[in-house]
Homo-oligomer: A and B are copies of this chain.
Amino acid sequence: MVSGEFGNASLDDATRSRGRREHMVKVRALWLLWILWVATCATGCGVGAQTAANPLPSWNDSPSKKAIVDFVAKVTQAGGPDFVPVSERIATFDNDGTLWCEQPMYVQLAFVLDRVKVLSGKHPEWKQKQPFKAVLDNDIATLAKAGEKGLVDLVMATHAGMTTAEFEQIASDWIKTARHPKFNRPYTDLVYQPMLELLGYLRANGFKTFIVSGGGIEFMRPWSERVYGIPPEQVVGSSIKTQFKVDKDGPVLMRLPAIDLVDDGPGKPVGINSHIGRRPIAAFGNSDGDFQMLQWTTGARGRRFGLIVHHTDAEREYAYDRKSPFGKLDKGLDAASANGWTIASMKDDWKRIFIFQ
């Protein structure tokens, strides 16, 4: 087709000039298409391109990182035996101790204690009533003895009896101002940089990332998108019941003092099924509260991935596992090997823990 079209000595000037113009048009079209393609890819489709460079710079080149990268390579390899379509690439992440720091206590417990103090002016009876008295007296030993029943009482007194919009405002305001006692920074600074990179890496490979936390769903949602890139509709957590009503300001949802879902331990697969409706192919946790989520995820057919973040770094963060009151990891350490779960040691596998370190 092209033969002789341009390389012909008998072409007159007009023909030659048209040939040049046509060629220029084609070159421009080539560039335009190239730019269009690059732009199109940059807006969301060029999943492959983002993974080309080192995708997990805060991870050491250890077996944990290799296990992650191998898994992602296998499930994304079109035509490969372990290929998983994009729509089924669901990854679930515990929050406390997996995505952010959960010591010296769960962040939401710090919120509860602060709220009890703020609200105590309206509740003079709390000065004599446990477990409120223990909170007001900063008596952690007595508070610890109150157990789960005591915790539920504190949660209901501070999380219910208001609209969802009011609670969102309270939680948002608190998270902006409260500071971690050891690091003296906002709690949302205390997210693990390697895990942020992992979230991004999975999303760049077509995964949809979800939080599945024992923490309160409405405590996390106001900031999950800003901090983790995970929108509210991809946050699963413990919840209390709500009730619709129309008051003088219009329709509201009132938060009731009744448990809806405890999204912890065996409650995690329940929450996953209710909110996501598919079994994840990868799950990330750090404590025995994540045990059943890891079982549910990796106990299905096909290539699956489970990872436990092991807190081994007393210097840069905290070191704890089998005996910790928060984020206890005991059963999971024993069962990891038999289940093929990867254990990531924060001390050995992570170059840095927080962005500010």
Also in contact, A295 and B251, with CB within 8 A (given A33-B33, A218-B277): yes
A152 part of interface (Cβ distance < 8 Å): no
Cβ of A269 and Cβ of B253 under 8 Å apart? yes
A24 and B40 in contact (CB under 8 A), knowing A34-B33, A270-B243, A292-B251? no
Q: Tell whether, in the assembled complex, residue A299 and residue B251 are in contact, meaning their CB atoms are under 8 Å apart.
A: yes
Asked if A355 CB lies within 8 Å of chain B CBs, one says: no
Chain B residues contacting A300 (CB-CB under 8 Å) are 250
- Between A44, A251, A268, the greatest number of chain B beta carbons within 10 A of the residue's beta carbon is seen for A251
A160 within 8 A of B: no
Q: Cβ of A177: which chain B residues have Cβ within 8 Å of it?
A: none
Q: For residues 243 through 297 of chain A, which have their beta carbon under 8 Å from a beta carbon of chain B?
A: 243-246, 250-251, 253, 260, 266-270, 273-278, 292, 295-296
- How far, in angstroms, from A276 to B217 measured CA to CA in the complex? 11
Query: How far, in angstroms, from A251 to B43 measured CA to CA in the complex?
Result: 39
Any chain B CB within 8 A of the CB of A29? yes
Distance A239 CA – B239 CA, assembled complex (angstroms): 16
Q: How far is the CA of A8 from the CA of B296 in the complex (A)?
A: 71
A94 CB to closest chain B CB, in angstroms? 16
Tell me which residues from 180 to 221 in chain A have a Cβ below 8 Å from any Cβ of chain B. 208, 217-218, 221
Q: In the docked arrangement, what's the CA distance between A27 and B234, Å?
A: 45
What is the CB-to-nearest-CB distance from A77 to chain B, in angstroms, rounded to a whole number?
A: 18
**A246 CB contact (under 8 Å) in B26, B217, B250, B295:** B295
Q: Given the complex, which residues of B lie within 8 Å of A11, measured CB to CB?
A: 7
CB of A19 within 8 A of CB of B6, answer: yes
Question: Contacts of A275 on B, CB cut-off 8 Å?
Answer: 233, 274-275
**What residues of chain A have their CB less than 8 Å away from a CB belonging to chain B?**
2-3, 5-9, 11, 16, 19-20, 23-24, 26-27, 29-30, 33-34, 36-37, 40-41, 43-46, 87, 90, 164, 208, 217-218, 221, 225, 231-235, 239, 241-246, 250-251, 253, 260, 266-270, 273-278, 292, 295-296, 299-300
Say yes or no: B278 contacts A232, CB within 8 Å: yes
A338 CB to closest chain B CB (Å) equals 13
Please, which residues of chain B bring their CB within 8 A of the CB of A19?
Answer: 6-7
Interface of A is mostly: helix
Of A5, A218, A233, A239, most buried by chain B (CB within 10 Å of CB) is A233
Which of chain B's residues have a CB closer than 8 A to the CB of A3? 20
**Closest chain B residue, CB of each to CB of A268:** B244
Whether B232 pairs with A276 at a CB distance below 8 angstroms is: yes
Docked-complex contact B253 and A270, CB < 8 angstroms: yes
- A20: chain B residues at CB < 8 Å are 2-3, 6-7
